[in-house]
Each structure stands twice: as structure tokens, then as C-alpha cells.
Amino acid sequence: MTTAGRPKPGGSALRARVYAWARTLHLYLSLLAFLAILFFALTGLTLNHPEWFGEGQVQKRSGTLPGAPYQAEEGVDWLRLAEDLRALGLRGRVAEHGTSGEMAWLSFRAPGYGADAQVDLKTGRYTLSLTQAGLVAALNDLHKGRDTPSCWRWVLDLSALFLGLVSLTGLLLSLFLRKTRRAALLSLLLGLLLFGGLALWAAR
């Protein structure tokens, strides 16, 4: 008697082992990747419709930093300047910085957040432009890996690997089940033709 959902007992021992490994990997990888699948599914939708959530709030601020002057003989003390700006509540990493005459500018970036500062190197007088786009924008930036630390890139790479293995082990399982093998292959072919055709049409 053949158990439903498993290869026939007459198959080779290697075939049975591959089936067992594929089933185990598919189950536990799916559980491990559950949150990643849900995250990328939802943020894929929000990325496609940014107009649903607005442009975010922009604030202007000005004042004087206490640590001026920031210009020394060896150049601008960028570390002290950045830390004094962070003391104002700025966050994220310094994405860009530079000087123009006696003025310095720094751009702080984090997912869903941006702060652009201009500082007089002699007097410490500053102006700030803060953009806080909200939770959805932060999640969208995490999806794209924009303005994120390098360790998050590893999370994205591992998520891609997990999702690929979940797909491949699912395909492998469908090939082992004789009753559904033909339907699975036809569905796979239909999906490839449909997605591939839409991708080619969109890329024109």
C-alpha cells in the first residue's frame, strides 16, 4: 500500500533519503523564513504604492553649536562636529559631508529618516532640515537596503538564500509526488510563461 504524499516504497534508498531531506529542509526553512516572506511581501506592496502613505514631515531648525570653532590647522574636526550635531537628537550614519568656504555640511541618513545640516565652522551657527517619513518608509528602505548598516545587507543576502532554498525544496518535493507531478510541472511552466511574459512586456 502506497502512503499518500510519499514516493513509492519501491524507489531507491537514495531517492527516499533525498525526499526526506527535501521535506525536512522545506518545512524548517519555511518556518525560519516565515517573517522574511511576510516582510518582503508586505513591503513589496507598499513600495509599489508610496502615494498611499504621503511624503513625510519636513522640519526646519536652527541654533548654535557649543563646540565651535571646528576648523583647525589640520582641517575640520568632523568627528567632534558630527557628535555635537548628534547631541541635538540627530541619528543615522553620516552619508556625505563637505565644505564650502567657511560652511560645512553633513547629511545623516537612516531608514525613513534624513537630516541635512549646514554649520558655520567659526561660530557654530547651524541650520537643519529634518525629514521623517514614518514607519512605512523605514520598512521600505529596509526592503531596499538603503541607508542601512552593512550587517543589514547580510540579513538581506541570507533572506534571499532562504527564500531560494524554500522555493527549490518545494519544487523538488513536487517532483517526487507522482500523483501531482504532472500538474506541478504544468503549473510551473504556466507560472514561468506568465511571469516571464509580463516581465518582458514591462521591460519594453
Per-residue 3-state assignment (H helix, E strand, C coil) for 146-169:
CCCCHHHHHHHHHHHHHHHHHHHH
- The answer to whether residue 3 scores a pLDDT higher than 60 is no
Residue found by looking up cell 550587517 in the block? 151
Q: Which residue has the higher pLDDT, 130 or 14?
A: 130
Whole-number Å distance between alpha carbons of 25 and 33: 11
Whole-number Å distance between alpha carbons of 193 and 204: 17
Segment of 91-100, 138-147, 182-191, 194-203 carrying the highest mean pLDDT = 91-100
- Residue 157's contacts (CB-CB under 8 Å, 6 or more residues apart) are none
**Residue 42: CB atoms within 10 Å:** 13
- Residue 62's contacts (CB-CB under 8 Å, 6 or more residues apart) are 125, 126, 127, 128
For residue 8, what pLDDT band results from cuts at 50, 70 and 90? low
169 neighbors 29 (Cβ within 8 angstroms): yes
Whole-number Å distance between alpha carbons of 27 and 22: 9
Reading the block at residue 95, the C-alpha cell is 552619508
Q: Given this model, what pLDDT does residue 126 score? A: 95
54 neighbors 204 (Cβ within 8 angstroms): no
Q: Reduced to 3 states, what is the DSSP secondary structure of residue 5? A: coil
Q: Give the global pTM.
A: 0.69
Q: Name the CA dihedral angle for 70, 75, 80, 82, rounded to a multiple of 10 degrees.
A: 100
For residue 130, what pLDDT band results from cuts at 50, 70 and 90? very high
70 neighbors 104 (Cβ within 8 angstroms): yes
Distances (CA, A) of 139 to 38, 46, 77, 90, 111: 12, 9, 34, 19, 7
Which DSSP letter does residue 6 get? S
**Residue 166: CB atoms within 10 Å:** 22
Q: Given this model, what pLDDT does residue 6 score? A: 54
